[in-house]
Amino acid sequence: MKHLLYSIVFLLCTFGYSQDSLAHHQNKRQDPVYMQSQDTLQRIKTQAKDTLQAVEAPTNSLDILAVKALPDSTKIKLQDMALARRYDSLWLDELYNNELFEQIYGSITAMTYEPVEYVELPTDTLKARLAEINSRTPFNVEYNPALESVIKNYLKNRRSTMGRLMALSDYYFPMFEQALDKYNIPLELKYLAIVESALRPTAESRVGATGLWQFMFSTGKMFGLNVNSYVDDRSDPLKATDAACKYLQALYKRLGDWDLALAAYNSGPGNVSKAIRRSGGRINYWNIRQHLPRETAGYVPAFLATMYIFEYSKQHGFNSDGPRIPYIATDTIHIKKQIALEHVAHLTDIDLAEVAFLNPQYKLGIIPVVKNQTYTLRLPIDKVGVFVANQDTIYAYAAYAFNKREKPLPELNDLDKKIYYKVQSGDYLGKIAARFGVRISQIKRWNSLRNNNLKAGKRLVIFPRKTPSVATKKQPSKGQNTKTYTVKQGDSLWSIAQQYPGVSVADIKKKNDLKSAKLNPGMELKIL
């Protein structure tokens, strides 16, 4: 790439650019700097009140532009782009909606299987449709009252939830189908991710299972999913889907039945083997179902009910309003230098929520560079060219931003600042983090915690950023009736919300300042 230093006179002229090169201009008198690319980058405008100092790097250097100093007032803004695309704002709201996960999980564990009145779906019609599905799938999709109860319950009480999941499926299902076809396993298993995580790549269960396919730490390790301070492969849609295919394939080879493979995916092959023994050697899922754990007993019916609703979505009036950019309209870039997702969003003019959704595996919003490890950045195709054509400038900006910001706490950890905190009854990580002005991820890293579970009496290492104030109990105003709930073993936000009419999962989280859906027995939750 050839670089030319122009005088102030030539900055007033029109510059020509080739399709494969990026021209960098330097200005020492506060005038705007404009960079153009024939790809999709239209203009990066830099304005500064003070002097912008830049130096030209040697031609053999990876850094084309090394930024020496950028004042606080520097603004880098991408102007309007003809090819820019946006996800629908309402759809973006659903990408990180915890309620979807809570509702799906709650419906599995709390299902009563009592008859549900739903006149829009007569039993005879349901039987005929299930028989049709059964004829073209390796799963046993035979009619039984329990399955009818789940299907009608979903159609009657979970209609909005299923509609929102269909919107998300427009993005994820092509990815799933590609992997399932690669391993020659039923494409219908794409519905399993809905039951597992409600298509939320960062979903985390109460026991620590994480991601679209809900891998535990140890199981994920078995199938090549690594977890460190920066990256959780269990939340990587591509890597986790590939691992899920390998796991499901192994379970089927062992059990020889896809229904049993599903049950084993949820509760482990050991529980399925015990259920077979307790049933006298029966191997049909519906015959051993009563001997399986409660969650697993509702697991396969939930999967089959989801399959039915998706297969007959049009007949039930479901219309997907999924993403404007499908999965096939995205691509990946190998990252050469450490960069934050916010840097990418800022310089390529993509909403940060979009970038985070496409790259959910980066827990701290930072893509690291580690020896012998390859990390990628997924972007809409029209933005991939923007990044590649301007990567040297983007990396230079990221380096400047990292150097400018406050150093991360691990680098400042001095023995005289370290404290030990004894976990009290009712404590949870979010509460402790807020008290000391730190992040949950930091507490977990300092104490080598693999999940959010805490036991009263446990000592935690904390490097506080603020001195906690002495808590004072607020007296409720006159006439105010404050209700609290003590969390019990097996409780979830969804099951608690069901006990209080008019109270939603979101209400409880907001009232208690909860950042996740994880609960610990003994926690005191404000309800009203």
Average pLDDT over residues 73-95: 38
CATH number of 484-526: 3.10.350.10
Give 313: exposed, middle or buried? Use CB within 10 Å, 0-12, 13-18, 19+: middle
Confidence check: pLDDT of 407 > 70: no
User: Cα–Cα distance between 115 and 117 in angstroms, integer?
Assistant: 7
Average pLDDT over residues 6-28: 35
User: Cα–Cα distance between 8 and 524 in angstroms, integer?
Assistant: 66
User: Cα–Cα distance between 107 and 149 in angstroms, integer?
Assistant: 12
CATH 1.10.530.10 fits 89-311, yes or no: yes
Strand partners, 53: 69
Are the beta carbons of 108 and 146 closer than 8 angstroms?
Answer: no
Domains 411-462 and 484-526 share a fold: yes
- Taking each helix axis from N to C terminus, what angle separates 145-157 and 294-311, rounded to the nearest 10 degrees? 70
Question: What does the buried/exposed string (b/e) look like for 217-252 if buried means 16 or more CB atoms within 10 Å of the residue's CB?
Answer: eebbeebebebeebbbbbbbbbbbbbbbbbbbeebb
Confidence check: pLDDT of 409 > 70: no
Give the pLDDT score at 303.
94
User: Cα–Cα distance between 115 and 145 in angstroms, integer?
Assistant: 8
User: Cα–Cα distance between 441 and 22 in angstroms, integer?
Assistant: 39
Confidence check: pLDDT of 115 > 90: no
Give the pLDDT score at 105.
54
Which of 290-304, 317-331, 381-395 shows the lowest mean pLDDT across its residues? 317-331
Q: pLDDT confidence of 528, banded at 50, 70, 90? A: low
Give the pLDDT score at 211.
93
Give the pLDDT score at 281.
92
6 compared with 329, residue with greater pLDDT: 329
User: Cα–Cα distance between 18 and 36 in angstroms, integer?
Assistant: 10
- Taking each helix axis from N to C terminus, what angle separates 237-255 and 159-182, rounded to the nearest 10 degrees? 80
308 compared with 116, residue with greater pLDDT: 308
Strand partners, 381: none
* Residue 515: DSSP 8-state: S
What confidence tens digit (pLDDT) does each residue in 431-483 have? 888 888 787 877 887 777 877 788 888 888 887 876 655 444 444 444 445 67
Average pLDDT over residues 110-139: 87
Give the pLDDT score at 194.
93
Q: Which tokens hold the place of 432? A: 């402790």
**With helix as H, strand as E and coil as C, how does 199-238 read?**
CCCCCECCCCCECCCCECHHHHHHCCCCECCCEEHHHCHH
Tell me which of 3.40.640.10, 3.10.350.10, 3.40.605.10, 3.40.50.10160 is the CATH number of domain 411-462.
3.10.350.10
**With helix as H, strand as E and coil as C, how does 459-498 read?**
EEEECCCCCCCCCCCCCCCCCCCCCEEECCCCCCHHHHHC
Confidence check: pLDDT of 487 > 50: yes
Confidence check: pLDDT of 399 > 80: yes
Give the pLDDT score at 208.
80
Give the pLDDT score at 109.
57
Average pLDDT over residues 123-144: 94
Q: Show the DSSP H helices in 140-215 as ranges.
A: 145-157, 159-182, 192-197
The rounded mean pLDDT for the chain is: 75
Domain ranges of the chain: 8-85+325-404, 89-311, 411-462, 484-526
Q: Which tokens hold the place of 505? A: 């999962």
What confidence tens digit (pLDDT) does each residue in 214-273 have? 999 889 999 999 988 889 999 999 999 999 999 999 999 999 999 999 999 998 899 999
Give the pLDDT score at 180.
97
376 compared with 402, residue with greater pLDDT: 376
What confidence tens digit (pLDDT) does each residue in 158-170 have? 887 888 888 888 8
Confidence check: pLDDT of 50 > 50: no
Average pLDDT over residues 165-181: 92
Confidence check: pLDDT of 155 > 70: yes
Which of 40-49, 225-234, 315-324, 398-407 shows the lowest mean pLDDT across its residues? 40-49
What confidence tens digit (pLDDT) does each residue in 351-373 have? 888 898 899 999 888 999 988 88
Kindly compute the dihedral angle of the four CA atoms of residues 215, 220, 224, 228, in this order, to the nearest 10 degrees. 100
Confidence check: pLDDT of 74 > 70: no
Q: pLDDT confidence of 106, banded at 50, 70, 90? A: low
Kindly compute the dihedral angle of the four CA atoms of residues 197, 199, 204, 205, in this order, to the nearest 10 degrees. -10
What confidence tens digit (pLDDT) does each residue in 277-303 have? 999 999 999 899 999 988 888 889 999
Single out the residue of 91, 108, 102, 206 nearest to residue 507, CA to CA: 102
Average pLDDT over residues 294-318: 91
